[in-house]
């Protein structure tokens, strides 16, 4: 049951599928619609969480990060982010638009790393008993497409250095999570042109914003 006044929108998908591009579009849309909003991201979103993000994403040629360490650090960031940023903004009636949230842990640490989903659910129940996104936009495309789009960027971070089968498992993890909570998700076919994706985004945002006026 929804317990906040604002609107919590999360954006998910595998590497390079167009989340950051969509985020800019959403930001412009909400500005033009005169909505109060904040844009944030995971892992990160507060000073402490951004410090943990560095630990999570900096490549380490000496030591391999254990999957459970990765999962717990993601949740450490998340708790900090939720308490310090997300809940206060939602309580103030704002939109919170987050580039990734809890579904990423199910997809990356569950699907990608193979941690049992029931263990991630335990953390979810303990740490986030009352908070769910109102809507999650899942940008979906075969991993190869996202990796092609992303390869023109600079150095890869620790997780980006994974191989394609890892990202295919992540994609499957997202789709499985979506199947368990279909009403919350909108799956966006990210293989299409940017223009087509943006037409769909506008339609979804129109539905919510008009519906909430």
Query: Using CB under 6 A as the criterion, which residues of the chain lie in contact with ligand Z5A when the complex forms?
Result: 13, 15-21, 42-43, 74, 99-100, 104-105, 108-109, 149-150, 159-160, 190, 193-194, 197
- Residue closer to ligand Z5A (CB basis): 7 or 167: 167
The smaller minimum CB distance to ligand Z5A, of residues 20 and 27, is found at: 20
Q: How far is the CB of 18 from ligand Z5A (least distance, A)?
A: 3
Determine which helix (DSSP H) or strand (DSSP E) holds 8, and give its type and residue range: strand 7-13
The smaller minimum CB distance to ligand Z5A, of residues 195 and 211, is found at: 195
Distance, CA of 125 to CA of 14 (rounded, Å): 24
Could you tell me the smallest distance in angstroms from the CB atom of residue 75 to ligand Z5A?
Answer: 8
Eight-class DSSP state of 17? S
Smallest distance, Å, CB 6 to ligand Z5A?
20
Q: How far is CA 1 from CA 129, 131, 132, 195, in A?
A: 11, 9, 9, 35
Contact partners, residue 40, CB within 8 Å, separation at least 6: 81, 85, 86, 96, 97, 98, 99
Minimum CB separation from ligand Z5A for residue 213, in Å?
Answer: 29
Q: Which is nearer to ligand Z5A, 4 or 81 (CB)?
A: 81
Shortest distance, position 5 Cβ to ligand Z5A, whole Å: 24
Do you find a cis peptide bond into 169, omega within 30 degrees of 0? no
Half-sphere exposure at residue 101, Cβ-oriented, CA atoms within 13 angstroms: 26
Between 198 and 208, whose beta carbon lies closer to ligand Z5A?
A: 198
Q: How far apart are CA 205 and CA 138, in angstroms?
A: 14
């Amino acid at each position: 049951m929804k317990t906040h006044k604002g609107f919590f929108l999360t954006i998910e998908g595998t590497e390079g599928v167009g989340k950051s591009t969509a985020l800019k579009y959403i930001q412009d849309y909400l500005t033009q619609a005169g909505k109060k909003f904040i844009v944030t991201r995971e892992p990160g979103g507060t000073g402490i969480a951004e410090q943990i993000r560095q630990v999570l994403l900096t490549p380490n040629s000496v030591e391999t990060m254990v999957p459970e360490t990765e999962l717990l650090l993601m949740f450490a960031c998340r708790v900090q982010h939720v308490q310090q940023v997300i809940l206060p903004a939602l309580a103030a009636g704002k939109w919170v638009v987050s580039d990734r949230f809890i579904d990423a842990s199910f997809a990356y640490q569950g699907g990608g790393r193979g941690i049992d989903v029931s263990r991630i659910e335990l953390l979810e129940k303990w740490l986030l008993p009352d908070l769910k996104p109102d809507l999650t936009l899942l940008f979906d495309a075969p991993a190869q497409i996202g990796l092609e789009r992303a390869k023109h960027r600079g150095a890869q971070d620790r997780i980006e250095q994974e191989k394609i089968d890892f990202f295919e498992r992540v994609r499957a993890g997202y789709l499985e999570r979506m199947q368990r909570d279909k009403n919350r998700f909108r799956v966006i076919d990210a293989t299409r042109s940017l223009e087509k994706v943006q037409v769909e985004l506008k339609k979804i945002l129109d539905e919510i914003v008009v519906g909430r006026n």
